A and B are shown apart, each in its own frame.
Chain A
């Protein structure tokens, strides 16, 4: 039987609020000071907000109706963005698969595993925009720099998740193949890779969605695609053309999301089987 009186007594004995120690107060003051400082740095002022809001309305009015006289070159640039994203993602996935094999703890030497994982971690810490700037500086303006930037970004992302998926395979499961004389690569190809495929497909589709968004932004730093068109339209105050570009971007992103959702549905039975 439950002793309710005892339950009540123990509930009341829990202190409702404990006075923080001096260090806690100091930390609170530091955080508040930082926040107040941030407000002052970004210069948030009511008159700026109201002025900006009226400008938003004005730009909004200028955006409607979207200008369609350059729709064909804009669609071509949207396709270029899609090509940058797709090619960059494929290269990134390919490199991640190779790196994942060597970074897999089941079939690789611990030193090699640690080195590759560290390299992937370093690549991952660099945002795609920085990769874009770097590759534009090295290889010049245009889609090639964009493809390399997307590939580097995808490698940082997929490299980590692929390795984790490979590591999820249990060592005991591999013993059956090891006991039959399979080489490390044979074990990878026959069991680790097939068992990880549902995970790899999910990660790759997510990477593709990220890459499409990234390749749009990369256009702003001169790495080709529809981002360049958006940058030019905004700089020349051609908001009606900018709205056309934005609509195309919306269609592109939604299209990729739909395709990836449909592929995910197709591989769901495989995920359940594994």
Chain B
């Protein structure tokens, strides 16, 4: 039987310069293959939660089991890095290298999975990996620009490269922090559909933060909502009404 992907128990996190906790007594489990939407108003701690799940931020109390393995707080060295290698992280700010080509940036999706030099620069990569990366770029309609520098791309194009990079890593878990935030409605829909389909096809788990309630309803099996520092809603998407979700933002 597959291990629970994420098992968060009584997680509390307080930033050093703040008196109130950002997240308090947060508990949830995400099982393999689930598609989970994370909702919550701006500043409730969605990005903080993503960073904690990846081990990029320390937390004050509670436990997190990633693929059944517990690592406490920041660090955990190899264990944490091996978890991250199984994650397709799509950060809000893209985190692309502007002076490198789209192709090189997509190759970075496997940066933690072996030879660093070969995954840093597309010109040093093997033919198979290059072809695979180009295939990922093609999925997002950017193959004609594969050798263009990322610094020349629009916000929407950069977001597509970030998705292609995550796909290239063949992850078991997609962590997407507002993946459609900088896109126009039709492209946003397309991107979310790609992400969701990829997760279904590869049997990967998907956790995505969004403010778009339609996306949450359409592309998730379950909805988690954060409000007032705690988990305010944890329910199957089926059977939920849009009005119920809207109350989360009231």
Q: A residues engaging B (CB < 8 A)?
A: 172-183, 185-186, 189-191, 194-195, 197-198, 270, 273-274
Contacts and interface: CB of A to CB of B under 8 A. Distances in A.
Nearest to A179: B89
Nearest to A181: B112
A273 B56 CA distance: 28
A189 B116 CA distance: 8
B91 A198 contact: no
A22 B188 CA distance: 71
B56 A180 contact: no
A203 to B, nearest CB: 16
A185 B116 contact: yes
B97 A194 contact: yes
B120 A273 contact: no
Contacts of B166: 180
Nearest to B84: A181
A180 B111 contact: yes
A197 B83 CA distance: 31
Contacts of A194: 97-100
B14 interface: no
B120 A173 contact: no
Interface string B96-137: 111110001000110111001101100000000000000000
Give 3 nearest A-B pairs by CB, closest first.
A176-B95, A181-B112, A273-B151
Contacts of B60: none
Nearest to A196: B99
B81 interface: yes
Given A189-B117, A194-B99, A273-B149, A181 B93 contact: no
Contacts of A174: 95
A177 B112 CA distance: 9
Contacts, number: 98
Contacts of A178: 54, 56, 84
B11 interface: no
A200 B175 CA distance: 34
Interface string B44-74: 0000000100101000000000000000000
Nearest to A178: B56
A181 B116 CA distance: 11
Nearest to B109: A180
A273 B54 contact: no
Contact of B99 (A182, A186, A189, A270): A270
B152 interface: yes
Contact of B93 (A176, A180, A185, A189): A176
B112 to A, nearest CB: 3
B48 to A, nearest CB: 12
B220 interface: no
Contact of A177 (B82, B95, B113, B117): B95
Contacts of B89: 176, 179-180
Given A176-B96, A180-B112, A273-B151, A186 B87 contact: no
Contact of A186 (B95, B98, B119): B119
Contacts of B83: 181
Contact of A273 (B86, B99, B109): B99
B94 A176 contact: yes
A179 to B, nearest CB: 3
Nearest to A187: B111
A32 to B, nearest CB: 50
A75 B56 CA distance: 58
Nearest to B93: A172
A172 B84 CA distance: 16
Contacts of A185: 116
B228 to A, nearest CB: 26
A179 B99 contact: no
A191 B151 CA distance: 12
19 contacts: A175-B95, A176-B93, A176-B95, A177-B111, A178-B56, A179-B87, A180-B87, A180-B109, A180-B169, A181-B82, A181-B84, A181-B85, A181-B112, A182-B108, A189-B116, A190-B104, A194-B100, A195-B98, A197-B99
Nearest to A176: B95
B210 interface: no
B108 A180 contact: yes
Given A198-B99, A274-B98, A186 B111 contact: yes
